[in-house]
Structure 1
Amino acid sequence: MARNIGSRYTAHQILGRGSAGTVWLGEGPEGPVAIKLLREDLASDQELVGRFVQERTALLGLDHPRVVGVHDLVVDGNDLALVMELVRGTDLRTRLDRERRLAPEAAVAIVADIADGLAAAHAAGVVHRDVKPENILLDMEGPLGPGGAHPALLTDFGVAKLIDTPRRTKASKIIGTPDYLAPEIVEGLPPRAAVDIYALATVLYELLAGFTPFGGGHPGAVLRRHVTETVVPLPGIPEELWQLLVQCLAKAPASRLRASELADRLREQLPTLAGIPPLDVDEPEGEPTQQPYDDREPGPAAETEPRRRGAVPLVPGAAPDSNRDTHTSMRVPAPDELAGGARGTARAPRPSGQRRPGSARHKAETVRKRRITLGAAAVLLIAAVGVGGWLATGGNGTDGAPGDSKQTMSPVP
């Protein structure tokens, strides 16, 4: 059912729902638009409304081909909405769900587009703060680029900042999605442009590998890894591209490239990536848990059900939103929690088909191998006893005549 948004826009159809609000397909004076209607409790927060109005100039001034433009900000009664450019396509998460990982050339081309958009935003003093595949749109009507990649645009500028009011996010809260949070955010420092570079490098790693470098398991464990662990190389990735990734995933913000530098360096890599197929690696399994030893054979589901990694829900069992909008407040871990383990290296990706030591499947395979070994040893022991008994009787029949087919086995003395 259609509804009016302010005096100039009409929302016709829901495109998706998220934790921050609902995205509608709408119509404005200049044609079709996407309208992000924030939740009513957000619209009733006068402090947030004030910040919303303050951000109007900055958001409306973001005009770049790689940024989904914000046409208008509407404050009308209980309605608080961002009116945005309508992109005919899909989001990057949908493509990842379908293909799992991309060829390096296509992955780098998409990330270079987003780096261009971030460069323009950072030059205007705007930090995105929530770069992730869900906020990267692929324009299916645009010309294909290197590796057959569709033009990529970054959306949802300003939403994380609008929600991150002091009253909503006290000193013990942070805004963002765990897998893409820069270490300095986890440690409670204010977000600067470098947090977007870290998040975009995490997205590139995910496009190449099919999983994020520090994701998996409990959100608290994910946050701890961002601060304490170092990323390990992906098998088959060109060395120059890997060094670029490492630099942008540096723990120290000052060590990372600026967005414009990242875009240029990525495009320099494109000619060397042409024709390279997607990497063939298996994702590491989730955070190991202490469970009683189980010697039973795993059922069919245990062998065929993959354990996925990526953006983890903050509430166990929570279903993802249809538009995957996951702006959420999270508790900042205390210093002792962040130092909960010695500094180390993140769990390495494995060649396809290889099990991680300590995983449930690895334990099951170990049990099967042990049973086979014990069975073979038993057969050999029985055979040895039989041969020993036969030798003890001199190889003759019961009546001492050689060649008698009837033989007895005597215990070995």
Structure 2
Amino acid sequence: MARKIGSRYTAHQILGRGSAGTVWLGEGPDGPVAVKLLREDLASDQELVGRFVQERTALLGLEHPHVVSVRDLVVDGNDLALVMDLVRGTDLRTRLERERRLAPEAAVAVVADVADGLAAAHAAGVVHRDVKPENVLLDMQGPLGPAGSHPALLTDFGVAKLIDSPKRTRATKIIGTPDYLAPEIVEGLPPRAAVDIYALATVLYELLAGFTPFGGGHPGAVLRRHVTETVAPLPGIPDELWQLVVQCLAKAPASRLRASELAARLRELLPLLAGMPALDVDEPEAEPGQEPPEEPSARAEAPAADRARRRGAVPLVPGAKPDSNRDTHTSMRVPAPDELAGGARGTARVPRPAGAPRPGSARHRAIARRRRITLGVAGAVLAAAVGAGAWLATSGDGGDGAPHDPRQHSAPAAP
């Protein structure tokens, strides 16, 4: 059913729902548009409406080939909406669900596009604050790039900042998606441009590996890893690319590259990555207290949506049902310093070599059982060998405890 959005736009069809609102396929004076209609409770918040209007100039002025442009901001009664360019394609999360991971050349090409878009945004004083695969759109009608990749555009600029009002979050709340949050946000510091670089490096890692470097388990554990743990090595990629990932995942914001630098460095690496297949690594093993991941056969039988939820970012609210587009602009309490300090192991969960059994699985138990049997047999053989040596050493004993003299058998008899 069509509905009017302000005086200039008409929304015809729902494209997706998120925790912040609903995205519609709409029509405007200049043709088709995407309309993000924020929730009614957000529209009734006068403070947020004021911030919405204040952000209008910055958001409308952000124009770049790799940014989904905001055409208009609508405030009309109970309607609060962002009118954006319509991109004919899909989002990066959908591609990950289908392929699990990308070849390094394709992954780098996508991330370089997004970094170009971030560079333009940061130059205009706009921080995205929620970079993740759900917010990267792939233009299926655009020209193909390296490894056949479609142009990538970053969307949802300004939404996290609009919702993150002092009234809603105060100083003890976090806005964002746990798997992609920079350490300084977890520690309660104000978000600067460097948080987008950290999130984008996390996306690059996920595109290469099929899972995020610090994700998995309870959201609180994810947040703690961002602050206390270092990223585990990811085997199978050139050292030049890995060093870029490590630098952009640095705990100190000042140590990370700028968006323009990251884009340039990534594009320089594209020839080196040409023809390289996707990595062959398995997800990290479960931590104590986590449910062990399923065996490959079970993974193949599981519905695609369930597999995607296990691989993707965890929701901030435990037990929350995922949205159709997995938009997670939700607040969470900032962990106390003692909570962040607890349980650190120094290094994030280490990816297992492809084919290695998962701890706790039937295959893992069988291997452990065979190892115990082998060690037991080896121990018995060793014990027998030691016993035989001891017997040989004492076999010449005359019975009275005196050592046997071999010359008694070789000396000639007395005349």
Taking structure 2 as the reference length, the TM-score comes to: 0.85
Tell me, what secondary structure is at the counterpart of 2:168?
Answer: coil
1:189-209 CA-to-partner distances (Å, cap 9, x unmatched) read 000000000000000000000
Q: How many angstroms apart in 2 are the aligned matches of 1:108 and 1:268? A: 10
Q: How many angstroms apart in 1 are the aligned matches of 2:282 and 2:313? A: 17
Q: How many angstroms apart in 1 are the aligned matches of 2:272 and 2:51? A: 46
1:321-350 CA-to-partner distances (Å, cap 9, x unmatched) read 112211111111110010002451112111
Tell me, what secondary structure is at the counterpart of 1:125?
Answer: coil
Q: Partner residue of 2:332?
A: 330
For structure 1, which segment, 359-368 or 243-252, has the greater mean C-alpha deviation from structure 2 after superposition? 359-368
Q: Partner residue of 2:136?
A: 136
Q: Are 2:206 and 1:206 equivalent residues in the alignment?
A: yes
Q: How many angstroms apart in 2 are the aligned matches of 1:347 and 1:314? A: 20
Aligned ranges 1:329-368 → 2 under 5 Å: 329-356=331-358, 358-360=359-361, 364-366=365-367, 368=369
Q: Are 2:3 and 1:3 equivalent residues in the alignment?
A: yes
For structure 1, which segment, 14-23 or 304-313, has the greater mean C-alpha deviation from structure 2 after superposition? 304-313
Tell me, what secondary structure is at the counterpart of 1:215?
Answer: coil
Q: Partner residue of 1:315?
A: 317
Please give the root-mean-square deviation of Cα atoms over the aligned residues, in Å: 2.2
1:41-67 CA-to-partner distances (Å, cap 9, x unmatched) read 000000000000000000000000000
Tell me, what secondary structure is at the counterpart of 1:345?
Answer: coil
Q: Partner residue of 2:55?
A: 55
Q: Partner residue of 1:261?
A: 261
Question: Residue type of the partner of 1:163?
Answer: I
Q: What is the aligned residue count?
A: 369
Change (3 A) 1:185 1:349: same
Question: Residue type of the partner of 1:78?
Answer: N
Shift of 1:320: 1.6
Question: Residue type of the partner of 2:354?
Answer: S
Q: Partner residue of 1:108?
A: 108
Contact 1:285–1:359 at 8 Å: present in 2 too? no
Question: Residue type of the partner of 1:337?
Answer: E
Q: Are 2:234 and 1:241 equivalent residues in the alignment?
A: no
Q: Partner residue of 1:67?
A: 67
Is the helix fraction higher in 1 or 2? 2
Q: Partner residue of 2:84?
A: 84
Q: How many angstroms apart in 1 are the aligned matches of 2:296 and 2:75? A: 53
Contact 2:285–2:350 at 8 Å: present in 1 too? no
Q: Partner residue of 1:384?
A: none
| Percent identity (aligned) | 85
Contact 1:281–1:350 at 8 Å: present in 2 too? yes
Contact 1:62–1:70 at 8 Å: present in 2 too? yes
Question: Residue type of the partner of 1:68?
Answer: V
Question: Residue type of the partner of 1:95?
Answer: R
1:103-122 CA-to-partner distances (Å, cap 9, x unmatched) read 00000000000000000000
Tell me, what secondary structure is at the counterpart of 2:166?
Answer: coil
Taking structure 1 as the reference length, the TM-score comes to: 0.85
Contact 1:286–1:309 at 8 Å: present in 2 too? no
Tell me, what secondary structure is at the counterpart of 1:127?
Answer: coil
Question: Residue type of the partner of 1:17?
Answer: R
Q: How many angstroms apart in 1 are the aligned matches of 2:223 and 2:376? A: 46
Q: Partner residue of 2:98?
A: 98
1:260-307 CA-to-partner distances (Å, cap 9, x unmatched) read 00000000000100000000000113332189xxxxxx9xx7663347
Contact 2:143–2:151 at 8 Å: present in 1 too? yes
Change (3 A) 1:61 1:359: farther
Q: How many angstroms apart in 1 are the aligned matches of 2:296 and 2:208? A: 25
Q: How many angstroms apart in 2 are the aligned matches of 1:198 and 1:359? A: 33
Contact 1:214–1:346 at 8 Å: present in 2 too? yes
1:81-105 CA-to-partner distances (Å, cap 9, x unmatched) read 0000000000000000000000000
Tell me, what secondary structure is at the counterpart of 1:198?
Answer: helix
Shift of 1:366: 4.9
Contact 1:218–1:287 at 8 Å: present in 2 too? no
Tell me, what secondary structure is at the counterpart of 2:237?
Answer: coil
Tell me, what secondary structure is at the counterpart of 1:369?
Answer: helix
Tell me, what secondary structure is at the counterpart of 1:204?
Answer: helix
Shift of 1:313: 1.9
Change (3 A) 1:227 1:362: farther
Shift of 1:3: 0.2
Change (3 A) 1:290 1:11: closer
Q: How many angstroms apart in 1 are the aligned matches of 2:15 and 2:312? A: 23
For structure 1, which segment, 156-165 or 345-354, has the greater mean C-alpha deviation from structure 2 after superposition? 345-354
Q: Are 2:125 and 1:125 equivalent residues in the alignment?
A: yes
Shift of 1:180: 0.2
Contact 2:285–2:352 at 8 Å: present in 1 too? no
